[in-house]
């Protein structure tokens, strides 16, 4: 006997799954399925956000943990979670651990729970992932054939912002005229100070941001970057001593809500996206140092961003116009500390055009 029992807030995702299947020539009928909520799902000794259970002669059951980060991160993340489990239960597909040339996962059917496309910057990748979902032999996407490299030669046309924190004065002391000329592009009015929950300070040639309790804390600054130019943002950051928590860099917003962000933790997980629309989480497999600084590079070249950590490509994302000139460093999660060695923002031009 067939049973169909799907919660109202998940039914639209099942309907979208059917629509996307139909677009790709699969006229599916789903009339024997149960989706239910379950907390603390454990499979193969690993906590999971979802689970498909199929037994011969029984209605397939999908369990969804609505307390999981996959469910709570964004509507796009929910879609990927539900589509993944539907693919198990309806299309009988197993996991696919393969990766593309740019390091992205090759399929929504990856065995881990990272969100692989989001509402901004890499939403364009959704089309390929849905093609592959219903056709594992789908052609690999053009955007995965990345030719951009960390060492690609560029000419710096202009320096928009620079600070190495080496010649920083906590008070209003005026440095000599020569130093003022050298540091003419520096933004010297950093928002520093301390209270019971956070400390922002410059000491020993680096910027420090320390939190004393769980939360997200930032040090803002301003850079005006025209949308019409190619640019590169480069900074060095470290969570000293292997402390818990996450370090982050924000750029191109009018407030914290519409800024773009890259967030990195000690285990090499990176989150990239826009704060108000959720972020895409990826296990970068990059060694994140806690004893030396980690170099983060955000390069806008043509229609794409290219994100590098310690010289390794993390992701390529579609460029979207900046929302404002607000930038910032951040620390989030558990009480933690991040040090920033320097920050440099330049307008660049590929050497091939010179």
Write the pLDDT tens digit of every residue in 214-257: 999 999 999 999 989 999 999 999 999 877 788 999 999 999 88
Task: Please compute the mean of the pLDDT values over residues 68-82 and round it to a whole number.
Answer: 89
Write the pLDDT tens digit of every residue in 148-188: 899 999 999 999 999 998 865 444 444 444 443 334 444 45
For the ranges 9-13, 204-208, 331-335, the maximum mean pLDDT occurs at: 9-13
CA distance 223 to 40: 44
Element (H, E) at 347: strand 337-350
CA distance 65 to 113: 12
Question: Which pLDDT belongs to residue 73?
Answer: 82
Cβ 313 vs Cβ 296: under 8 Å: no
> Comparing C-alpha atoms, which of 328, 314, 36 is closest to residue 187?
328
Give percent of the chain with pLDDT exceeding 90. Answer: 63
Question: Which pLDDT belongs to residue 45?
Answer: 63
Where do the domains of the chain lie, and which CATH numbers do they carry? 4-144 (3.40.390), 154-353 (2.60.120.560)
> Comparing C-alpha atoms, which of 197, 227, 226 is closest to residue 209?
197
Judged by DSSP in three states, 89 sits in: helix
> Comparing C-alpha atoms, which of 156, 175, 161, 184 is closest to residue 329?
161
Element (H, E) at 238: strand 230-238
φ, ψ dihedrals at 288, nearest 5°: -100, 120
pLDDT at 50 over 70: yes
Task: Please compute the mean of the pLDDT values over residues 12-25 and round it to a whole number.
Answer: 96
Q: How many residues does the chain have?
A: 354
CA distance 347 to 5: 56
Cβ 324 vs Cβ 224: under 8 Å: no
Write the pLDDT tens digit of every residue in 306-324: 999 999 999 999 999 999 9
Cβ 330 vs Cβ 275: under 8 Å: no
Question: Which pLDDT belongs to residue 243?
Answer: 75
Confidence of residue 352 (pLDDT cuts 50, 70, 90): low
pTM: 0.87
Write the pLDDT tens digit of every residue in 82-140: 999 999 999 999 999 999 998 899 999 999 888 889 888 989 999 999 999 999 999 99
pLDDT at 27 over 50: yes
CA distance 74 to 115: 10
Farthest-apart Cα atoms in the chain, separation:
86
Q: Which residue has the higher pLDDT, 113 or 338?
A: 338
Cβ 230 vs Cβ 305: under 8 Å: no
């Amino acid at each position: 006997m067939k049973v169909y029992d799907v919660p109202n807030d998940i039914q639209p995702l099942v309907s979208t799954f059917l629509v996307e299947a139909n677009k790709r020539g699969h006229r599916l009928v789903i009339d024997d399925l149960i989706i239910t909520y379950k907390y603390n799902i454990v499979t193969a000794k690993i906590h999971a956000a979802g689970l498909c259970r199929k037994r011969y002669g029984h209605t397939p059951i999908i369990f969804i943990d609505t307390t999981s980060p996959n469910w709570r991160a964004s509507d796009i993340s929910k879609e990927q979670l539900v589509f993944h489990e539907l693919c198990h239960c309806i299309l009988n597909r197993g996991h696919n651990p393969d990766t593309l040339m740019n390091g992205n996962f090759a399929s929504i059917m990856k065995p881990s729970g990272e969100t692989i496309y989001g509402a901004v910057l890499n939403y364009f990748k959704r089309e390929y992932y849905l093609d592959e979902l219903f056709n594992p032999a789908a052609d690999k996407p053009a955007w995965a054939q990345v030719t951009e490299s960390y060492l690609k030669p560029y000419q710096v046309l202009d320096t928009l912002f620079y600070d190495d924190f080496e010649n920083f004065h906590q008070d209003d002391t005026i440095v000599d005229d020569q130093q003022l000329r050298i540091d003419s592009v520096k933004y010297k009015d950093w928002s520093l100070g301390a209270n019971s929950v956070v400390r922002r300070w410059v000491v020993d040639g680096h910027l420090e941001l320390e939190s004393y309790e769980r939360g997200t804390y930032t040090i803002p600054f301003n850079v005006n970057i025209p949308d019409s130019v190619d640019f590169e943002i480069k900074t060095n950051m470290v969570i000293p001593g292997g402390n818990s928590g996450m370090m982050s860099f924000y750029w191109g917003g009018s407030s914290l809500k519409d800024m773009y962000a890259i967030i990195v933790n000690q285990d090499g997980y990176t989150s990239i996206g826009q704060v108000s629309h959720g972020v895409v989480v990826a296990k970068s497999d990059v060694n994140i140092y806690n004893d030396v600084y980690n170099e983060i590079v955000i390069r806008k070249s043509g229609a794409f961003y290219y994100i590098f950590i310690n010289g390794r490509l993390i992701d390529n994302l579609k460029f979207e116009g900046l929302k404002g000139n607000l930038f910032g460093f951040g620390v989030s999660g558990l009480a933690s500390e991040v040090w920033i060695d320097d920050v440099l923002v330049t307008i660049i031009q590929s050497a091939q055009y010179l």
